Structure 1
Amino acid sequence: MRIIRLFQIKVAVIAILLGTVSCGQKTEAVAESQSGSEHPKLILTAQGVKDIRAQLGTIPIFDKTLEAVKAEVDAEIEAGIDVPIPKDYSGGYTHDRHKRNWFVLHKAGLLYQILDDEKYAKFVKDMLMEYEEMYKTLPLHPKTRSYARGKLFWQCLNDSNWLVYVSQAYDCIYNYLSEEERNKLETNLFRPFANHISIDSPQFYQRVHNHSTWGNAAVGMIGLVMDDQELIDRALYGIKDLKLDTEEKDDDGGFLNKDGKAGFLANIEEPFSPDGYYNEGPYYQRYAMYPFLIFAEGLHNVKPELKIFDYKEGVLLKSINALLNLSDADGEFFPLNDGQKGMSYYTGALVTAVDISYHFGDQDPGLLTIAEAQDRVLLDDSGLAVALGIKNNKAEPFNKKSINLSDGPKGTQGGVAILRNEAIELVFKYASQGSSHGHYDKLSYSLYEDGEEILQDYGLARFVNIEQKGGGNYLKENKTWAKQTIAHNTVVQNETSHFNGKYEIGSQHHSVLNYFSSENEKVQVASAKESNAYPGTEMLRTMAVVKDEDFEKPFMLDIMKVTSNKKNKYDFPYYFLGQVLQTNFEYQTPKSLNVLGNKNGYEHLFVEGIAKSPSKNSKLSWLNKGKFYTLTTITNNSDELLFTRIGANDPEFNLRREAAFMLRRKDTKNTLFVSAIEAHGSYSPVTESAVNSNSSIKELKVVLDTSDYTAVEITNVNGNTKLFITSNTNASKEAEHILKINNKNYTWKGSYYYN
């Protein structure tokens, strides 16, 4: 803190001596800057610099962040500048070095402004001049895998990452540089860089996709710094008068847009629903939020007339709240679509999101609690606002409740429902395809207790930035396994994935909400219908999380109603994590492992156990991380029960060796799958004691199933029976129902009945 206080004294002296001259600028550059805009202006502003300097030493979280960044950049300066000739994929040395450089350049620019120390500006200038010298003659990157090759990196995406960050560094030292130096950088580095990302790479730039968002932001931000309206317009609206003879397809399955949907505004308009859900899923929303929000902040500061934070009824700020709600109790994002497990709101992109949301939104005190957990802030205007909010004890808990997030530009393409009851979280996906990163998993779900998976979604098959695993890129198993329907907790018909695993078909359809109800804290329900995954077959799934006094913890009830025009084979997997404890059926374990099938993901499943269901209910109990879980599912005598394990036909060990329990029902036309999952009890390896390790459910029973209603009885081990009735058709909150079951009348208003 002594260093910071010395800087405060220095700032005060400078202010007295220079009067209205903006701090952090070389005096010989002042005259040059008078004809243009004041710098910095993009993210950290000139006024923000003054405000930050006035508070240094009195804002603990900001001061702590500043000290950490200073130590990091000082070490880089001491080590010397390294700008190697590009040659590697993700994870390789040259890739990682250039990636490291963009972060260091950005941070050094901030330090120059905040600390008024010329060594940081000189470091940024010297490194940029080395990039200028190299870029003038730099060919396309030698690695040829990408559909759009960059120059510094193997793909234009990473080149765009570089320019988004370096634009901010350039803004911070803009007035430190002479006019000749700026012309040199802009002529030989920045404009050619922006042109390569956009004009030279329309298959990357001219579409709606998280990649393109980075490209739009990169071009737009450097345009804002240089006051280049042509680049700004290209960023906002895409490339004008683009003429292509053929449709171009990228290696993710995305397509070049030729219908005018391109540019930053289109990338806000198309992927975001009015609720702020991003159709590629939270993992890619997290990745895209940085360019979305940073460019938006730059536009807000430099082009306030655009009112960018009001665009589409303020969806960018809404999306931050949606994204935070798409995380579990530990802050980790639910791995919908191509999502890597473990990504959380502790990532730098969410520090940006939280700070910007607080500063430009309604200053939600719950965001301050997340910022405290992140334990760092941005070194700019929004970071200062958060630091002051925390300092002034405004923080309150961020309360995540049950929420239903619509999908699609107008909120009419399905969605994602999250049911929360005490420590239990159920994530029910009935969304659209999710662009090129979407999975074929209509009406799938995953289940959590206190941040730990009970039933998992596999996520993606990729080791991000680990060079030894496919250069850190998507592995072929992402398509052969992770995207296939059998990899998810939903119904598979005739061993074929939804939409036959075809993006072109799946992207045309979405599931439809039947109803969502979260008003009752004890019973929360989501119900949705899918009619296109298998032509001639309709699936209606209703999922509830119920808190009942007869159970230790809330339990999940799952009703999947399948109606088809022909007989089929149905597979219904449960991807549980943990150690099998007990079943109420006998199973045979083979002496050698056989593969379940030969395509559509089945080729990656070993069969470890086989059984016939012995009773009306089949039960499986398991232990995971000191907690007990039991699945109870209604079965018939012809059902097959399978224990499977991921890992077949995987010679490079790219897939995790995890288990599933699978219910197989053959030669069936219309059918009903009903199950319950209980979380119960605990085990301590220290005291070696097991508490409440047995299921509380004695029996599940379907007592009515018609086109309009399905009713399920849940009887516990003490003989107490509860009834859950779901409306399959007339499910509005205002609908009034009268129904007779076993000579007893039931009346209720709303979508469901539970008592």
Structure 2
Amino acid sequence: MIRTLALAAFVVAAPAFAQDAKPVLNDPAVLAEMGREAARLPLLASDLARTRAQLDASIRDGVNVPVPKDPGGGATHEQHRRNYQAIYGGGLLYRITGERKYADHARALLLAYAKLYPTLGKHPAASNQVPGRLFWQSLNDSVWLVYAAQGYDAIRDTLSPADRATIDADVFRRMADFLSVETAASFDRIHNHATWAAAGVGMTGYVLRDPKLVTRALKGSDGSGKAGFLRQLDLLFSPDGYYAEGPYYQRYALQPFVMFANAIAKNDPAQKIFQYRGGIVLKAVTTAIQLTYDGYFFPINDAMPDKSLKTDELYQAVAIGYAATRDPALLDIAKWQGRTVLTDDGLAVARDVAAGKAKAFPFASKLFRDGPDGDQGALAVLRDGPGDDAQVLVAKNTAQGMGHGHFDKLNWLLYDHGQAIVTDYGAARFLNIEAKSGGRYLPENDSWAQHTIAHNTLVVNETSHFAAKLKPAEAVAPKQLYFSGTGDTQASIGEMTGAYPGVTFRRTLAQVRVRGLGSPIVVDVLKVKGNAPARYDLPLHYNGHLIDTGFALKSNVTTRPVMGAKKGYQHLWVDATGTPDATNGRVTWMTAGRFYSYRMATPGVQVILAESGANDPKFNLRREPAIIQRLDGAKDATFVSLLEAHGRYDPSTEMVSGSASAVASVTQARAGDADIVTITLVDGRRVILAVADDASPGGKHSATVAGRAFDWTGPIGRMDREAGK
């Protein structure tokens, strides 16, 4: 059942607004303290100098408020983006430094917008998104409003009544009404676009002392509570603080959530917004940090792989989260970021980092349930330790992720020694690079990146999950059957029914620590039950340069066939094929001076070595390699694979060590009610994993393996044997 409200208890009272125009979003006295202390606080000193340099350059350039015409990345788009940053930064710098020139510059920009904005209609470069007025999509207008409202708040009491009335009416009220009334359908969505709009409208309400705007932001355009900020908090986050669209969009959506919540806390403290729904806003901050490797967000769904915790959204989230909780682990993240924000919350972070109060952030193996009630699958994160070079396995057993989701249930990613090893394509997009479709999503986002073959999971009959259609994909989520994040065998089990008619598949991913090996071995058991013979493809997209294979290859050296005609297959070149036997199904590649051996123990498979980039005349796709296991004519099947990290290559000394795999073989057999995976090491030791059909944690199981009785509890059993035993 989806919760109907916590909102019923969250009564939106008219705040006791001051009758003057003094700031309500940041305490001007604290900002003045920042000006006096910044020189001795490294996190603030550099950011203050950077912001001052940007504003001084903006002042020299003068007021430039052009008529909008360009899409993302174009000249007018970028100028309006620079302008909201100048309004925001100018207001804060005025309060921090006391220098009137910064307030005057923000005032001049806002008065120019007061002349321009009433003349604007639909943006001329609008495409398939809800059009804005300043920008090609209304989302960017909302972002402009969130930032500009904060800058305006800082200088509003410095303006003449006439200027204040003009800017109030012709910029902020007009924009708030455009976002919440004229485009009400978008404002009332449960989506990150609507979150930004709600935050902008609500913060404008506080600045203008207008409780009607605040209520509209909190409870939707009609005030019913069926939409709005609080309903978004109810429906967009799971109880674990996982955001519906995945980590990349959790990063992006987090900023309006934390900024508006902070404004509510400062202006309506009786509402206890940071306690709402079990403290979901603050939980979302720490969850977002957990969903990173070496600071970079796991790039599932429509994600860009280069987004890290060093971004405006997380600078704000860490500062606001720390001010609300005083959690010293957030100071550790601020130290890694190397900066904070020029707000009263940022001053608290900078002071306490300088005072040595930071404690290590507790990165750990965790299960993050998906869905408002936590029953729509999960993202399973298995970490072999807290360090930046630790191995991290991510099992994507989550729900669709709305319109930004991809069709790839039970996908997985792997990181090791600071590198992405098993990769996810993310979005086909060059964000804000005008030459690439105006910075929008590329056509290949639909024809390649969203399709299942672009990911590391099962494809049936060369079609994508749910036939790549959004509505049926949103109706069915995977089941997270089991998770264990402790001990020498950490594991996740997920199951998907409904991605293909008549097909159920279950995936067990285990991170297995073995004495004497530098990193855990990853074991992947994917079981398929179908209602008719089919073609099953299981791709593995990896980062690295192929070294060798254990089986013979038929390589395409003079021509390069394309793998298929549609559903993403048209974008894969076939470089080589081979048919391994039970003993030689291995592919080894090298990434950043480390070797990775992928072993396949799936009877009857053909192996296809492929690369993305076919049918791509504008060179929009990254060229990335893939290994595809293909099984034809199967009804039920069990794919068993193993990935091992080993050895080093040091190019400076030209020294190579451990380039040969420590694994001699991997085999799979049935015993009792379980699949038995036997890993034999070169030194003769064996690691035996049993994966039971019954995934309940208390289930009792037994099997006879190599003449020995094997008993275990729960879905995963492990038995290690020394050489000769």
TM-score (normalizing by structure 2): 0.94
d(CA) in 2 for partners of 1:45, 1:673? 60
The answer to whether the aligner puts 1:119 opposite 2:82 as a matched pair is no
Match of 1:453, SS?
Answer: strand
d(CA) in 1 for partners of 2:363, 2:40? 31
d(CA) in 2 for partners of 1:300, 1:471? 39
Match of 1:39, SS?
Answer: coil
Which amino acid is the alignment partner of residue 451 of structure 1? Answer: G
1:145 to partner: Cα distance: 0.6
Matched residue, 1:349:
313
The answer to whether the aligner puts 1:79 opposite 2:64 as a matched pair is no
1:749 to 695, 713, 725: 713
The answer to whether the aligner puts 1:410 opposite 2:373 as a matched pair is yes
The answer to whether the aligner puts 1:514 opposite 2:477 as a matched pair is no
Matched residue, 2:636:
670
Given that 2:328 and 2:357 are in contact with CA atoms closer than 8 Å, whether structure 1 keeps it comes out as yes
- 1:296-337 deviation per Cα after TM superposition (whole angstroms, max 9, x unaligned): 101110111221111111111001111111100x20111011
1:137 to partner: Cα distance: 1.4
- 1:470-491 deviation per Cα after TM superposition (whole angstroms, max 9, x unaligned): 0000111111110100000111
d(CA) in 2 for partners of 1:56, 1:99? 27
Which amino acid is the alignment partner of residue 296 of structure 2? Answer: E
2:694 to 725, 729, 733: 729
Matched residue, 2:322:
358
d(CA) in 2 for partners of 1:664, 1:92? 45
d(CA) in 1 for partners of 2:377, 2:614? 34
1:747 to partner: Cα distance: 2.0
Given that 2:671 and 2:703 are in contact with CA atoms closer than 8 Å, whether structure 1 keeps it comes out as no
Higher alpha-carbon deviation: 56-65 or 182-191: 56-65
d(CA) in 2 for partners of 1:327, 1:728? 32
Matched residue, 2:130:
148
Which amino acid is the alignment partner of residue 186 of structure 2? Answer: F
Matched residue, 1:442:
409
The answer to whether the aligner puts 1:395 opposite 2:362 as a matched pair is no
Matched residue, 1:70:
52
Higher alpha-carbon deviation: 409-418 or 528-537: 528-537
The answer to whether the aligner puts 1:322 opposite 2:287 as a matched pair is yes
Higher alpha-carbon deviation: 86-95 or 610-619: 610-619
Given that 2:509 and 2:524 are in contact with CA atoms closer than 8 Å, whether structure 1 keeps it comes out as yes
2:668 to 702, 705, 708: 702
1:386 to 349, 354, 374: 349
Matched residue, 1:679:
645
1:735 to partner: Cα distance: 3.4
Given that 2:600 and 2:642 are in contact with CA atoms closer than 8 Å, whether structure 1 keeps it comes out as yes
Higher alpha-carbon deviation: 481-490 or 587-596: 587-596
2:154 to 172, 180, 193: 172
Higher alpha-carbon deviation: 696-705 or 263-272: 696-705
Gaps of 5+ in 2: 1-15, 720-725
2:269 to 289, 298, 304: 304
Matched residue, 2:298:
334
Higher alpha-carbon deviation: 381-390 or 139-148: 139-148
Change in CA separation of 1:552 and 1:378 when aligned onto 2, cut-off 3 Å: closer
Given that 2:525 and 2:641 are in contact with CA atoms closer than 8 Å, whether structure 1 keeps it comes out as yes
d(CA) in 2 for partners of 1:395, 1:62? 16
Change in CA separation of 1:726 and 1:37 when aligned onto 2, cut-off 3 Å: farther
d(CA) in 2 for partners of 1:447, 1:35? 53
1:714 to partner: Cα distance: 0.6
Which amino acid is the alignment partner of residue 170 of structure 1? Answer: Y
Match of 2:86, SS?
Answer: helix
Given that 1:421 and 1:546 are in contact with CA atoms closer than 8 Å, whether structure 2 keeps it comes out as no
Which amino acid is the alignment partner of residue 349 of structure 1? Answer: E
d(CA) in 2 for partners of 1:684, 1:631? 22
Matched residue, 2:114:
132
d(CA) in 1 for partners of 2:695, 2:43? 53
Match of 1:565, SS?
Answer: strand
Which amino acid is the alignment partner of residue 753 of structure 1? Answer: G
Which amino acid is the alignment partner of residue 586 of structure 2? Answer: K
1:158 to 120, 140, 143: 140
Which amino acid is the alignment partner of residue 407 of structure 2? Answer: Y
Given that 1:332 and 1:342 are in contact with CA atoms closer than 8 Å, whether structure 2 keeps it comes out as yes
- 1:668-724 deviation per Cα after TM superposition (whole angstroms, max 9, x unaligned): 111101111011111111111111001111111113266x42221110111111111
Given that 1:640 and 1:665 are in contact with CA atoms closer than 8 Å, whether structure 2 keeps it comes out as yes
Match of 1:532, SS?
Answer: strand
Change in CA separation of 1:224 and 1:664 when aligned onto 2, cut-off 3 Å: same
Given that 1:220 and 1:231 are in contact with CA atoms closer than 8 Å, whether structure 2 keeps it comes out as yes
Matched residue, 1:587:
553
d(CA) in 1 for partners of 2:67, 2:228? 31
Which amino acid is the alignment partner of residue 687 of structure 1? Answer: T
d(CA) in 1 for partners of 2:401, 2:280? 18
Which amino acid is the alignment partner of residue 469 of structure 1? Answer: K
d(CA) in 1 for partners of 2:346, 2:192? 25
Alignment of 1:709-720 (within 5 A): 709-720=674-685
d(CA) in 2 for partners of 1:395, 1:728? 45
Match of 1:136, SS?
Answer: helix
The answer to whether the aligner puts 1:274 opposite 2:219 as a matched pair is no
Matched residue, 2:702:
738
Match of 1:478, SS?
Answer: helix
Matched residue, 1:451:
418
Matched residue, 1:249:
none
Matched residue, 1:252:
none
Matched residue, 1:655:
621
- 1:409-433 deviation per Cα after TM superposition (whole angstroms, max 9, x unaligned): 0111101001111421111000000
The answer to whether the aligner puts 1:492 opposite 2:465 as a matched pair is no
1:150 to partner: Cα distance: 1.0
Given that 1:144 and 1:154 are in contact with CA atoms closer than 8 Å, whether structure 2 keeps it comes out as yes
d(CA) in 2 for partners of 1:195, 1:34? 21
Match of 1:430, SS?
Answer: strand
- 1:250-290 deviation per Cα after TM superposition (whole angstroms, max 9, x unaligned): xxxxxxxxxx6421111111110010000101111111111
Change in CA separation of 1:584 and 1:185 when aligned onto 2, cut-off 3 Å: same
1:633 to 600, 605, 612: 600
Change in CA separation of 1:97 and 1:133 when aligned onto 2, cut-off 3 Å: same
Match of 1:507, SS?
Answer: helix
The answer to whether the aligner puts 1:208 opposite 2:172 as a matched pair is no
Higher alpha-carbon deviation: 271-280 or 75-84: 75-84
Which amino acid is the alignment partner of residue 315 of structure 1? Answer: I
Given that 2:563 and 2:573 are in contact with CA atoms closer than 8 Å, whether structure 1 keeps it comes out as yes
Matched residue, 2:608:
642
Change in CA separation of 1:50 and 1:113 when aligned onto 2, cut-off 3 Å: closer
Which amino acid is the alignment partner of residue 384 of structure 2? Answer: N
Given that 1:425 and 1:447 are in contact with CA atoms closer than 8 Å, whether structure 2 keeps it comes out as yes
- 1:155-199 deviation per Cα after TM superposition (whole angstroms, max 9, x unaligned): 111111111000001100111012222111112221111111121
Match of 2:398, SS?
Answer: coil
d(CA) in 2 for partners of 1:173, 1:629? 58
Given that 1:588 and 1:610 are in contact with CA atoms closer than 8 Å, whether structure 2 keeps it comes out as yes
Higher alpha-carbon deviation: 155-164 or 60-69: 60-69
RMSD: 1.7
1:53 to partner: Cα distance: 4.9
Equivalent pairs counted in the alignment come to 699
- 1:580-612 deviation per Cα after TM superposition (whole angstroms, max 9, x unaligned): 111111111123111111111111111110112
Match of 1:486, SS?
Answer: helix
Q: Percent identity?
A: 39
